């Protein structure tokens, strides 16, 4: 499973997404979001006790699979987009001769929706949690679990993150603006995400779903369309999305890549099953978008070539050796969390995304000469 570690990225630079989030104020941790079993009417898709068991098993077996780079073990607890990301990450580690980190999760908060009697499968719930050892960090992991059929195993099929607690600031402190990301800053990308609003809950404690989920999910196609362009022709401003680190700044970041003299074309498409759309306390909807990025890099005409640092992820999947290529096509996977307002004419806000460092899935190249 992907987790926050610095590594040698696709271009050979060490990528460490520096979130301007800081730590929590040390107040009492939020409740685990337990959803008591209702006696009548719609029932939770899973009881809290069972959800705790699913989460505990996942945390235990996922850490073991990561440590052993075990494809079979990962397939027992993951499916879909998340499994593809894990297997691709394992393959890169094997080619590099490196180890993955056996990271654990802590302080889970369960987002368990209800189901109507006789509702079709699949069923899903989600869990917000902290990375063990970083419990005071303001960001949280968000895992989505799905049961494909009645009596089937619950498996994690998508993972994202969000800033879930406000920063500890003095009354006189003023907000510090986020520096615009730039490829020239070769050690970190800095963003200042909006805090995820609370999930709205029913009187019984279950997480409420949006009653406009199908329309809400259309934002994923809009986001894919917005991010698809050839550098430097991307338009930073788009009325469909609020400006910020995962929209206007991201487009500017990729537009800057044109300075290298190489051609860069980005194409995004929505993939994976539709994940549950939760209703937020603000009345907006929380949509998780799983996307595939196709990134083509071409040498400057007429004879320019593309070359990646030896040992980078892309170089390893191309066979290693830091060879030269006329063009290279990279396929990567990412997850974005988007707040969709109730009034569709208003701009959506991308709360979080691993857009700056998506999980590389595969690479193909056309040799030069």
CB burial string 332-341: b at 16+ within 10 A, e below:
bbbbbbbbbb
Query: Total structural domains in the chain?
Result: 1
Residue 282 tokens, joined: 């603000």
Instruction: Classify residue 260: in a domain, yes or no.
Output: yes
Instruction: Classify residue 180: in a domain, yes or no.
Output: no
Q: Is the pLDDT of residue 206 over 70?
A: yes
pLDDT given for residue 217 in this prediction: 96
Q: 116-120, 139-143, 291-295 — which is least confidently predicted?
A: 116-120
Instruction: Dump pLDDT digits (tens) for 71-117.
Output: 999 999 999 999 999 999 999 999 999 998 889 999 999 999 998 76
Q: Is the pLDDT of residue 177 over 50?
A: no
Confidence of residue 344 (pLDDT cuts 50, 70, 90): confident
Instruction: Classify residue 132: in a domain, yes or no.
Output: yes
Instruction: Classify residue 181: in a domain, yes or no.
Output: no
Average pLDDT estimate for 331-336 = 98
Instruction: Classify residue 238: in a domain, yes or no.
Output: yes
Structure-token match 């190489």, residue found: 262
Instruction: Classify residue 285: in a domain, yes or no.
Output: yes
Residue 187 tokens, joined: 């050690």
pLDDT given for residue 285 in this prediction: 97
Instruction: Classify residue 182: in a domain, yes or no.
Output: no
Domain assignment of residue 56, given as a range: 7-25+32-168+188-367
Instruction: Dump pLDDT digits (tens) for 32-83.
Output: 665 555 455 688 999 999 999 999 999 999 999 999 999 999 999 999 999 9
Residue 164 tokens, joined: 């879930």
Instruction: Classify residue 196: in a domain, yes or no.
Output: yes
Instruction: Select the more confidently predicted residue: 170 or 5.
Output: 170
Count the Cβ atoms, other than its own, within 10 Å of residue 331.
17
Q: Is the pLDDT of residue 219 over 70?
A: yes
């Amino acid at each position: 499973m992907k987790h926050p570690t610095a590594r040698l990225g696709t271009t050979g630079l060490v990528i460490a997404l520096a979130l301007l989030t800081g730590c929590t104020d040390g107040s009492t941790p939020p409740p685990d979001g337990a959803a008591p079993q209702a006696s009548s009417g719609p029932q939770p898709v899973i009881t809290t006790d069972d959800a705790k068991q699913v989460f505990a098993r996942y945390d235990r077996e996922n850490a073991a699979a990561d440590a052993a780079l075990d494809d079979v073990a990962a397939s027992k607890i993951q499916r879909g987009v998340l499994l593809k990301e894990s297997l691709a990450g394992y393959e890169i580690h094997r080619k590099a001769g490196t180890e993955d980190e056996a990271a654990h999760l802590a302080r889970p908060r369960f987002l368990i929706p209800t189901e109507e009697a006789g509702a079709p499968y699949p069923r899903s719930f989600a869990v917000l949690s902290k990375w063990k050892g970083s419990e005071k960090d303001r960001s949280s992991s968000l895992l989505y679990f799905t049961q494909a059929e009645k009596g089937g195993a619950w498996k994690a099929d998508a993972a994202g993150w969000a800033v879930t607690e406000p920063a500890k600031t003095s009354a006189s402190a003023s907000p510090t603006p986020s520096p615009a990301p730039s490829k020239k800053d070769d050690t970190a990308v800095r963003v200042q995400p909006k805090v995820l609003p609370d999930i709205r809950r029913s009187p019984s404690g279950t997480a409420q779903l949006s009653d406009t989920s199908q329309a809400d999910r259309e934002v994923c196609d809009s986001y894919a369309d917005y991010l698809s362009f050839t550098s430097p022709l991307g338009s930073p401003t788009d009325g469909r999305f609020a400006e910020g680190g995962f929209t206007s700044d991201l487009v500017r970041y990729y537009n800057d890549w044109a300075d290298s003299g190489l051609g860069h074309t980005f194409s995004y498409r929505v993939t994976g099953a539709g994940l549950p759309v939760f209703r937020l306390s603000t009345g907006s909807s929380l949509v998780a978008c799983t996307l595939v990025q196709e990134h083509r890099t071409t040498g400057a005409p007429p004879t320019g070539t593309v070359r990646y640092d030896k040992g980078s992820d892309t170089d390893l999947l191309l066979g290693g050796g830091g060879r030269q290529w006329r063009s290279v096509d990279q396929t990567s996977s990412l997850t974005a969390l988007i707040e969709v307002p109730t009034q569709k004419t208003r701009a959506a806000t991308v709360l979080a995304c691993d857009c700056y460092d998506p999980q590389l899935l595969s690479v193909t190249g056309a040799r030069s000469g």
